[in-house]
Amino acid sequence: MQEYINSGILETYVMGCASEQEAREVLSMKEKYPEVKNALIELENDMERLAASMAIEPPHNLWPQIAHEINEIVLREHNQPQIYREGINTGKEENTGGKPQYIDVESEATHMRIHKVWRWVFAAVFVLGKIFLGFAIYYYLENRQMNEQVNELKTELKQIKSTK
Amino acid sequence: MNTRLQTSAETSLHPKVYDVQHIYNRYAGMLLGYIYDVVKDKALAEQYLTDTFIAVAAVPELFNNPNDNVYCKLQLIARKKLTNYFESVGNCEVNEVVKTRPNSFLNKMNARQQTVFCGVHYHGKNISTIAAEMNEEEDVVRRLLREAFVIIRTR
């Protein structure tokens, strides 16, 4: 056991540079052997002694900054919306007897959303409507003019007949 | 109107901050000293210290066991935060560490012990990397690290 303690593996563990396998091994030995546990405690105390001798007083304004950031993070966690999960947020989704679950939606809005392609369809319908309207007016006027001409011709024919 | 909400928020927030403050008051100076010896920049060291204590607030259960050494756990969290810094730093220059701030423990170590201890402690290297750099077996490096700890203990 002393050989294991003297191998330097405990020092690597305490300093955080042991591999995962080494760390597992050290923890297992720590549980089994009190000598290993005591050696680890001593090494941790050594690290603390070294750190205490090299300590630097932090500036006075540093803690308020840290406390503020922690507060903000905790507040953010508190204010996060709850994630929706079926059967957790409401009890209605349960016991549907294996049928597909649908959400009943009754539209109350006065507006509707349609696909953008309908914009071109509406434009084409509008343009075609204008063209047909143009033709209709043109043929209506032409028809009226022809009727007037026919009437004039009829009047002339009547006049010719009456003079004969 | 929001009195009840505010009260519940305060009661759930403050214990966490107070717990961290308790740890901060006791260990912040030691940790800042360690981080400063690693980065050698006051502002950067304070930023890493801030990041470390914010991380502590996220895992308060890590500090619940009274048998565990709190400082060593804090140092491990700080080392995790420093990982990118360690990777960006080149070779370990022992003289630089000693020159910046006199360290009575390091001064008592011989050159090989200093190389191993500084490599692990201040430069985040693992044993295999140091062994390769020193062209030595890993067992030898571990033994040198142990000798360094003996010096710290007997100093």
Specify the 3-state DSSP secondary structure of A137: helix
Q: What are phi and psi of A140, to 5 degrees?
A: -65, -45
Query: ipTM of the assembly?
Result: 0.80
Residue A123, CA distances (Å) to A116, A120, A137, B34, B64 in order: 12, 5, 21, 73, 71
Domain with residues B3-87, CATH architecture: Orthogonal Bundle (1.10)
The model's confidence at residue A95, banded by pLDDT at 50, 70 and 90, is low
Higher pLDDT pick, B91 / A143: A143
**What's chain A's average pLDDT?**
83
pTM of the predicted structure, to 2 decimals: 0.66
d(CA A22, CA B65): 22
**What's chain B's average pLDDT?**
81
Residue B141's closest CA among B108, B121, B113, B122? B113
The model's confidence at residue B103, banded by pLDDT at 50, 70 and 90, is confident
The model's confidence at residue B102, banded by pLDDT at 50, 70 and 90, is confident
d(CA A105, CA A102): 9
Interface test with A, best of B69, B74, B114 (most A CBs within 10 A): B69
In B, minimum Cα distance to A58 occurs at B29
Highest mean pLDDT pick, A13-17, A75-79, A130-134, B133-137: A130-134
Instruction: Please list every residue in chain B whose beta carbon sits closer than 8 Å to the beta carbon of residue A6.
Output: 143, 146
Q: With an 8 Å Cβ cutoff, are B46 and A58 in contact?
A: yes
pLDDT digits (tens, 9 = 90+) for A54-87: 899 999 999 888 888 888 877 776 666 666 665 5
The model's confidence at residue A108, banded by pLDDT at 50, 70 and 90, is low
User: B92-154 domain in CATH 1.10.10.10?
Assistant: yes
- Note the pLDDT of residue B4: 41
Delimit the domains of chain A by residue range.
Answer: 1-54, 120-164
d(CA B74, CA B56): 8
Torsion of CA B111, B114, B116, B120, to 10 degrees: -160
Q: Supply the DSSP symbol for B60.
A: G
- Note the pLDDT of residue A153: 94
Shortest distance between the Cα of A8 and any Cα of chain B, in A, equals 5
Q: Check if the beta carbon of residue B119 is closer than 8 Å to that of residue B142.
A: no
Which of B9, B30, B126 lies closest to A17 in CB terms?
Answer: B126
Q: With an 8 Å Cβ cutoff, are B33 and A43 in contact?
A: no
- Note the pLDDT of residue B8: 40
Token digits of residue B61: 């259960």
Instruction: Please list every residue in chain A whose beta carbon sits closer than 8 Å to the beta carbon of residue B114.
Output: none
Q: With an 8 Å Cβ cutoff, are B49 and A45 in contact?
A: no
Specify the 3-state DSSP secondary structure of B38: helix
Q: Supply the DSSP symbol for A88.
A: T
Q: With an 8 Å Cβ cutoff, are A74 and B16 in contact?
A: yes
Q: Residues A48-59: what's their mean pLDDT?
A: 90
